[in-house]
Amino acid sequence: MDVISVIRTKRDRGELSDAQIDWVIDAYTRGEVADEQMSALAMAILLNGMNRREIARWTAAMIASGERMDFSSLSRPTADKHSTGGVGDKITLPLAPLVAACGAAVPQLSGRGLGHTGGTLDKLESIPGWRALLSNEEMLSVLDGTGAVICAAGDGLAPADKKLYALRDVTGTVEAIPLIASSIMSKKIAEGTGSLVLDVKVGTGAFMKTIEDARELASTMVGLGTDHGVKTVALLTDMSTPLGLTAGNALEVRESVEVLAGGGPADVVELTIALAREMLDAAGVKDADPAKALADGSAMDVWRRMIAAQGGDPDATLPVAREQHVIKAPASGVLTRLDAYGIGVAAWRLGAGRARKEDPVQAGAGVELHAKPGDEVTEGQPLLTLHTDTPERFEYALESIEGSYDIAAPGTDSTPSPVVLERIA
Ligand code: URA
């Protein structure tokens, strides 16, 4: 087999054979196919697409490039959730302990933020002592002992994807639905979960800007999971405005703990419970009531044990940024729009995110929202508070907030988008 003929097949809108796909993924993982050759192939796939058979084979080849985890020794069924990423999306934090409190085991391999979307591991690392890196044995032991674990994926899981994703990131080939679907699902299937709920975000703050693209991505991923024996369901959820009232690491941990204590913003609670119901249903856990497990403290108990099992102190004071800047409402009226992308970029510029993989993040940095779309605001009231340790960042963050919100005349009818838009199974 030679790589140039594989590239030419896709460049000329042909179908890649199973043998071509198996060979190119294996040869790339071993270093026999060079980065420039793989980037030419990724661009041909972005431009000319892949059919369902090609996507399924590509995913299987990426799974086969590494190890597969096995949770069959656990006494409970496993359920996992994957979000395609958004602004203020802290849902994994309350969701994993909540689903564990209801009877499923939640092995949640998570990532770090890149660009304007936050990462679950960065958020949890604002808890003093908490460790994201666990060996496979440690991961199993936390999962078995507490019912939930949130940690980084080990290097052995789908190494072909690790290499290819880093390449796509710097060659303008991230936004190909076949490549996104196979990248996400190869990791989730290799992780060994029995069931999976996908939270596919739609809107300005998400990868998928339109409902049509989100539907295509969701149905491709549901098909891949189902074909590999993983019960998979997707919810398409709104990401036109940030989730909850915070975007930033420690700020989001604080808000997640409020949800676990039975409070927290309505949209975060609604999505957490909707995803928990889907996960429990997919895992075959009957008669559990996630709303009750939030109200009676049982989800909070699992959270405390899970954080402590990974070295964190659940009672520690969370870091607070050294400087704050308040943005006030310029007029009285109804907040009709608060754009997720603008707020996400501001949080990132304040230090909550990183520009390069190796950059550190500030635990206390981010944006706090004092109103959500649909709320009445009064001229001069705080609308947003920006937090950072490095005040020279305020100006740059303010640029991204300019034009990110609209206030209409008092009494204007403004109905915010529902949180859950569609379900695909
Ligand atoms: N997340 C992934 O893991 N892979 C992609 O391609 C996009 C988002």
Pocket of ligand 1 from Cβ distances under 6 Å: 165, 174, 179-180, 183-184
Burial of 411: CB neighbours in 10 Å, binned 0-12, 13-18, 19+: exposed
> What is the CA(295)–ligand 1 centre distance, in A?
34
* pLDDT band per the 50, 70, 90 thresholds, residue 315: very high
400 is catalytic: no
ipTM value: 0.95
183 is catalytic: yes
281 is catalytic: no
Mean pLDDT of 22-45: 97
Nearest CA to 8 out of 194, 184, 16, 343 is that of: 16
> What is the CA(175)–ligand 1 centre distance, in A?
9
CATH 3.40.1030.10 fits 79-155+172-309, yes or no: yes
322 is catalytic: no
Catalytic residue among 187, 188, 304, 349: 187
pTM confidence score: 0.94
In this model, does residue 215 exceed pLDDT 90? yes
- At position 36, the amino acid (one-letter code) is E
In this model, does residue 153 exceed pLDDT 90? no
Mention every residue, 6+ apart, whose C-beta is less than 8 A from residue 30: none
State the pLDDT at residue 114: 67
82 is catalytic: yes
- Enumerate the H helices of 102-210 as residue ranges: 120-124, 136-146, 159-169, 177-191
Catalytic residue among 10, 90, 116, 168: 168
In this model, does residue 412 exceed pLDDT 80? yes
Backbone angles phi, psi at 367, to 5 degrees: -125, 135
* pLDDT band per the 50, 70, 90 thresholds, residue 207: confident
> What is the CA(115)–ligand 1 centre distance, in A?
13
Cα distances (angstroms) measured from residue 225 to each of 52, 68, 95, 222:
12, 15, 21, 5
Write the pLDDT tens digit of every residue in 36-77.
Answer: 999 999 999 999 999 999 999 999 999 999 999 989 899 999
Q: Where are the domains of the chain?
A: 3-49, 79-155+172-309, 323-408
CB-based burial, 355-372: b 16+ in 10 Å, e otherwise: eeeeeebbbbbbbbbbbb
Give the three-state DSSP class for 295.
helix
Q: How far apart are CA 101 and CA 95, in angstroms?
A: 10
CATH of 3-49, one of 3.40.630.10, 3.40.50.720, 1.20.970.10, 3.30.420.40: 1.20.970.10
Mean pLDDT of 192-214: 95
User: What atom in ligand 1 is closest to the CA of residue 165?
Assistant: 6
Contact (CB, 8 A) for 176 and 45: yes
Nearest CA to 306 out of 165, 173, 124 is that of: 124
Average predicted confidence (pLDDT) for the chain: 95
**Of 100-104, 112-116, 204-208, 238-242, the least confident:** 112-116
CATH 3.90.1170.30 fits 323-408, yes or no: yes
Ligand 1: which of 55, 80, 168, 180 to mutate, judged by most atoms within 8 Å of the beta carbon?
A: 180
